[in-house]
Structure formats: structure tokens, C-alpha cells
Structure 1
Amino acid sequence: MKVVRGIRGAITVDRDEREEIKQASLELFTQILAENELSPDDIAGVFITATPDLRSVFPAEVIREQECFRYIPILCAQEMDVEGALQKCIRMLVLAHTPKGPQEVRHVYLRGAQSLRKDLCQRGGKT
């Protein structure tokens, strides 16, 4: 039986440039889907945040450009500006229908974002 699970992920970029942010966002999203064996029909919604130093493009734009994800609700927001927090970071919460239990879900942390959840990277989150 499938239930809705939240699947987390994050990735960093080197620069606040439109194409770099779009490429990283798509890389993270497709990796989350691949690692969790998800199809477009499994996705209930996606919530994306970006740190305040990323302003050149909405990370959701690249997902919406993919025809198979056109009708999936996607929301972007600005991450809290906490002193000392990881910069140039895009975070995702993918809500998906899956038969996997909470311990089976694979969260994906790429590049500098691996430092955010070392506990998840060590137990199977993509590094």
C-alpha cells in the first residue's frame, strides 16, 4: 500500500547564476526520484527553499519546464537567513506516494549540502 512520505534533499551551487541553479535543481530532483524509484504520477507536491544569496531564478522553474511535471504543485520560498548557515543552498521536500517505510526512503544531499544531514548520508542518503 502506498502512503505519502516526505523525501528531503539539498544541493549547493558555486554562483548565483540562472543556469547553474536550474541545473543543480534538476540534478537534485531527478536524483531524489531515481533513488526512491518514483515516477511523475507518484509526486503529490514539491516544496523548495533557497538561501537568500540565490536570487537569479526560481529553482522550481526547471521542474515546471519538464512536460511530465507540468501539473505537479511546486512552491518556492526563501530559506531563513540564519547566521553561520550553509550558503548558496537549495533544499527540497518532495511529497510522494510510495510503499517504502520511513527508514527505506533515501534522502539525497549533494555537494556541500552533505554537511546538513551526515546522519542521513551515512544510512543511505546519496552523497
Structure 2
Amino acid sequence: MIRGVRGATTIPADQPDQILIATQELAMEMARVNSIQAEDVASVIISTTPDVISAFPAKAVRTIEGWEYVPVMCMHEMSVAESLPRCIRIMMHVNTTVAQNQVEHIYLNEAVTLRPDLVKK
């Protein structure tokens, strides 16, 4: 069965190195916490708020060892007034037998405010 694993993080400034480091950190933490191996990933969709434009976050996922062939795509999130700035979101589609309510979604940095109900204390 395919399950969606969500994650989000923020960066302090729109700089290529910050985008790549934060995206890779988030993807690796999502994989670690949920015991995800690259061969179990059907696809990854990454969205950014419109103020993140200096690098493709997908590059960060493709450079993780063993993840070179995982299909990854980037896009911009909707521009909504008062939304969290400089935010990077990941939706990972994973083949797993884990129940929906057992999937651990990961929120880092300022993104913990997006879904406090899902953030592990």
C-alpha cells in the first residue's frame, strides 16, 4: 500500500546552500523516523513558498546516497496571505505496511507551527 509521509521545514534566508541543507535534513529525518528505504519510495513532491527561488530543493533529495533514481518534482505552494515564509514542504509517497495513523510526519524549525497536532513532543 502507498502512504503519504509529510514534512516541512523553514530556512532563515533564500540562499541555495540553506535550501539544499534544510531539504536534505528534512528528507533524511522523514526516512529515518519512518524506516523508509529509497527503494520503497514511489515519488517525492516538494513545494516551496513563492519566496524560495534560489535553488531546486529536489537536487538535495537526489544527492542522498541511494536516492538517485527516486522520482522527485518541485513546485511552488499557493501564495496565501499570512502564510509561513520561506517554507519547504515534502510529500513522500512510500510503499509500506504501516497503518495511516502510525506514519510519523516531520516538522522542523518554524514549520512546527503548521501542524502542532502532529509534532511529537
Q: TM over 0.5: same fold?
A: yes
- Point out where structure 2 has 5 or more consecutive residues left out of the alignment: none
Residue 104 of structure 1 corresponds to 102
Q: Distance in 2 between matches of 1:80 and 1:43?
A: 25
Query: 1:105 Cα deviation (Å)?
Result: 0.2
Q: TM-score, normalised by structure 2?
A: 0.96
Residue 120 of structure 1 corresponds to 118
Deviations 1:47-100 (A, max 9, x none): 000011111001001111234111111110001110000000000000001111
- Point out where structure 1 has 5 or more consecutive residues left out of the alignment: none
Alpha-carbon RMSD: 1.0
Query: For 2:17, which of 12, 16, 19 is the aligned residue?
Result: 19
Q: Distance in 1 between matches of 2:112 and 2:9?
A: 8
Q: TM-score, normalised by structure 1?
A: 0.92
Q: Distance in 2 between matches of 1:47 and 1:70?
A: 15
Q: After the TM superposition, which parts of structure 1 deviate over 2 Å for at least 4 consecutive aligned residues?
A: none
Provide the aligned length of Structure 1 versus Structure 2.
Answer: 121
What fraction of aligned residue pairs are identical, expressed as a percent?
Answer: 37
